[in-house]
Amino acid sequence: MSKVYVIGGGAAGMLAAIAAARNGHKVILLEKNEKLGKKLFITGKGRCNLTNACDKEEFFGQVVTNPKFLYRAYHSFSNYDAMNFFGDIGLPIKTERGNRVFPESDKSSDVIAVLKRELERQGVELRYRSEVSRVLVRDGSFYGLRLKNSQEELLGDAVILCTGGLSYPLTGSTGDGFRFAEEMGHTVTEMYPSLVPIHVKEAYVKELMGLSLKNIEIAITSGKKNVYRDFGELLFTHFGVSGPVILSASSYIIPYLARKEALELSIDLKPALSIEQLDTRILRDFEESKNKQFKNSLDRLLPNKLIDVIIRLSNIDPEKKVNSITKEERLYLANLLKSLTLHVTKLGGYSQAVITKGGVNVKEVNPSTMESKLVKQVYFAGEVLDLDALTGGYNLQIAWSTAYLAGSSVK
């Protein structure tokens, strides 16, 4: 039996502690907050998107950074293993659109409650308000920890760093693990907020704030280069755009913004229709509204909140009778609806980020165990590692997989 410390009581920390305890170790979980799972509590808008019930190929297609490093961890504890695990510890789950898995209750608090109950059942010692200031290493091996505001050394045989990233800092994610890793000689890759809203130059988005558009297609380009393209749901905000398809896009545009490249975001409001089909549809609507003014003719085609903006951008006189609109004006309108273009200025910060892009360099971590290649008996799991994926439960699955492997591998 080894004495194992787990730093961080989030998703990865709780599962790593359970896995290590199930292997017969004495486990002490150190959480700097007054309770467990503060970030987990707010994930999925408080519903907690636990994982995704897709197949392996689709899963790895959603992993943006270092997918090959994740193979062994995934096979040790896959998304299906995660679903079985939660069922076994008493959490009924359900699968929704896009294979997203949620607790049946739609309450993230229930996820935290069953994990805490399992921690206690496995005899894990929970220490709250216990902020680690330093990981102690001697002769290339872990031997203990020092807590903040205390000179006491906590001696142990192994430590699992589950300290999270920099996203949602109010939940306690302040990047401690990156500092610990660097102090032990690890390199930490450049970090950025990811899965964040996008800010744009166009002021008219303020008028559209709160408007949600489903089944649209976005395309992001840098000059002639295609950066990202996908279908999904988009939400207008007072500063730009958000929603699932935008959060996923943000993960891909970070390098371009870092190089200060100009990015255009084009929204296809009618992706199911070709430009010719859309023109036919507009012509039909105009025929039925031929005696109306242009400003009163678009209510079948567009959400009310979008109509005034589209009218302004179309350069068609809003008072003009529909039967006086020229073919050129009509085609310009159709092209506008197929490519409503916004100019990206920046991404949201860490306070809005779902995850951190970047982290402990995975080349310095053993993918078969999650143990440091530099310091014996030091393990990493979760967002502290340079791993990230798109929205849909994939990032939490990365946490579960790496945590289970780390906890199961402790010697």
Q: Give the phi and the psi of residue 255 in degrees, each rounded to 5.
A: -60, -35
Question: In the structure, what pLDDT confidence band is assigned to residue 168 with cuts at 50, 70 and 90?
Answer: confident
Alpha-helical (H) ranges within 47-127 are: 56-61, 71-76, 79-88, 108-121
pLDDT at 4: 99
* Average pLDDT, integer, range 197-217: 97
pLDDT at 167: 87
pTM tops 0.75: yes
Same domain, 235 and 317: yes
Question: In the structure, what pLDDT confidence band is assigned to residue 172 with cuts at 50, 70 and 90?
Answer: confident
Same domain, 10 and 118: yes
Which of 394, 398, 400, 396 has its CA nearest to residue 58?
394
* Average pLDDT, integer, range 43-55: 94
pLDDT in tens, 61-116: 999 999 999 999 999 999 999 999 999 999 999 999 999 999 999 999 999 999 99
- Give the residues across from 156 on adjacent strands: none
pLDDT at 217 over 90: yes
Q: How many domains does the chain have?
A: 2
362, 198 Cβ separation under 8 angstroms: no
Same domain, 207 and 276: yes
pLDDT at 39: 92
- The end-to-end CA distance of the chain, in Å, is 8
pLDDT at 152: 80
pLDDT at 227 over 90: yes
131, 146 Cβ separation under 8 angstroms: no
Q: Which domain holds residue 337?
A: 197-348
pLDDT in tens, 319-351: 999 999 999 999 999 999 999 999 999 999 998
pLDDT at 221 over 80: yes
- Give the residues across from 376 on adjacent strands: 141
pLDDT at 151: 77
Same domain, 123 and 188: yes
Coil, strand or helix: which one is 230? Answer: strand
pLDDT at 44: 85
Say which DSSP state 386 is in: S
Which of 1, 33, 2 has its CA nearest to residue 14?
33
Contacts of 3 (CB under 8 A, 6+ apart): 25, 26, 28, 155, 156, 157, 158
For 36-48, letters b (16+ CB in 10 Å) and e give: bbbbbbbbbeebb
pLDDT at 174: 84
User: Which of 329, 348, 367 represents a domain boundary (last residue)?
Assistant: 348
Same domain, 162 and 70: yes
Domain CATH code at residue 155: 3.50.50.60
Same domain, 134 and 267: no
